[in-house]
A and B are shown apart, each in its own frame.
Chain A
């Protein structure tokens, strides 16, 4: 049976893992390859590596750090941040990523999703959607609006509609972040997750707001997420991956057990 994945996220700025609240007030949390290795040893099912300053700074992904990270772990690595072309994606894959996350550049140029999927397959294309609560309107019927640049810029489009469109264009997975929950510890936005998982067939990774093991359980059970992602609470060792998996298993959710020899 397919396992529900627990994914630590490395937000990388200037080559270091950082974590703040709502993408601001960044605090240093360590060296990306070192943290990735620690999480792999602790039972992480995948690592997400986001170069969070690439897009705002208008540059491509830090490939050397991606490669150093990829060489240290034998679990899947998804890399996002600053990917705006098929060539960018090729570079990130060749540096050792298994999947590539597209975010703001895909919002600006939706056809990018199709070009990347045609070249590398949908299974390698993860579209990251940052959403926040907004007044319901004709343009935003669900009340969840797509934002970019770490929540600084609202795009005036509906997050659930964008999710459906991204999948139609070729996205093989969605990473859905409730940006107004990110770093707040208020729990995942299970309503947002439920609306998106009900609208698409591709796997959905829940992100934003996790504070306790029960939050991860809720993202899967109530939100329908296939995978749950968190950053700060893992970096600060407030919650361990093992604790999350124990809570998920206790709730009857299938999780990967570490190898018998580990």
Chain B
């Protein structure tokens, strides 16, 4: 029996010391979520959406996730097909490895992260266009080609091209959003991407509740 759900969608944001949590919390709250920080597995509780944000390098991020005992809970969450959002490094960690430092990452998505060597400037820093390849509820109400904020040097290179939701061009096209079942990964920072970013987060938050009761 599913109890009736009410109130704001409960969102758990993994805090593993990877930078700016203020903005992701603030943006999720503006998108209608009730946000909790996850330092340990027990903090996830009855969350409806799990968010892994993050900036920086893969190896230290994986070390901190392992040190906090969060790798297995994240893998179990994704294996159970519960709503998941990976942002920037949080998307890159979904792949099997990163060329950046040879880190072995979560391995949820077949493929690896590679340096965007074709880029005229690196890191790829600033607002760039996200071109939709496939319709997805996360981008509902957002025009294809809308600008989102990026700051990264590595990109995911999935083996299965079908998971690519959207692409962005900087020297070459790269996957700026990927999706598999209820998992979503975005290379840009929706929490720093103005009104369209907030709209995307609101879409993801709302879809988490809908999928939870479906």
Contact = CB atoms under 8 A, between A and B. Distances in A.
Q: Does chain A bind chain B?
A: yes
A88 interface: no
B147 A70 contact: no
Contacts of B34: none
Nearest to B192: A76
A203 B189 contact: no
B55 A123 contact: yes
Nearest to A257: B147
Interface in B121-143: 121-129, 143
A108 to B, nearest CB: 24
A2 interface: yes
Contacts of A98: 19-20, 23, 55, 151, 189, 192
Contacts of A76: 149, 151, 189, 192
A76 B153 CA distance: 17
A165 interface: no
B19 A74 contact: no
Interface in B69-120: 89
Interface in A121-155: 121-124
B191 interface: yes
Nearest to A255: B127
Given A74-B192, A121-B56, A226 B129 contact: no
Interface in B163-208: 169-170, 189, 191-198
Given A75-B192, A98-B23, A120-B19, A5 B126 contact: yes
Contact of B170 (A2, A99, A262): A2
Given A2-B124, A202-B121, A227-B126, A123 B194 contact: no
A96 interface: yes
A119 B61 CA distance: 9
A123 B127 contact: no
B60 A119 contact: yes
Contacts of A74: 23, 26-27, 30, 191-195, 197-198
A1 B17 CA distance: 32
Contact of A99 (B122, B147, B151, B198): B151
Lowest 4 CB-CB distances: which A-B pairs, in order?
A96-B22, A121-B56, A259-B195, A123-B123
Contact of A203 (B23, B126, B152, B195): B126
Contact size range, A:
35 or more
B47 interface: no
B57 interface: yes
Contact of B195 (A4, A67, A94, A261): A261
9 contacts: A5-B127, A74-B26, A75-B193, A93-B20, A98-B192, A123-B153, A173-B123, A201-B122, A203-B121
B195 A262 contact: yes
**Max chain B CB contacts within 10 Å: which of A40, A123, A124, A227?**
A123
Contacts of B149: 75-76
A121 B151 CA distance: 10
A203 B30 CA distance: 31
Interface string A198-211: 00011100000000
Contact of A123 (B22, B129, B151, B193): B151
Contacts of A122: 123, 153
B159 interface: no
A18 B192 CA distance: 25
Given A98-B189, A203-B123, A123 B152 contact: yes
Given A123-B152, A226-B126, A1 B169 contact: yes
Contacts of A259: 146, 194-196
Nearest to B15: A94
A221 interface: no
B21 interface: yes
Contacts of A121: 55-57, 89
A119 B56 contact: yes
B27 A2 contact: no
B22 A71 contact: yes
A38 interface: no
Contacts of B129: 1
Interface in B1-51: 17, 19-23, 26-27, 30
Nearest to B58: A121
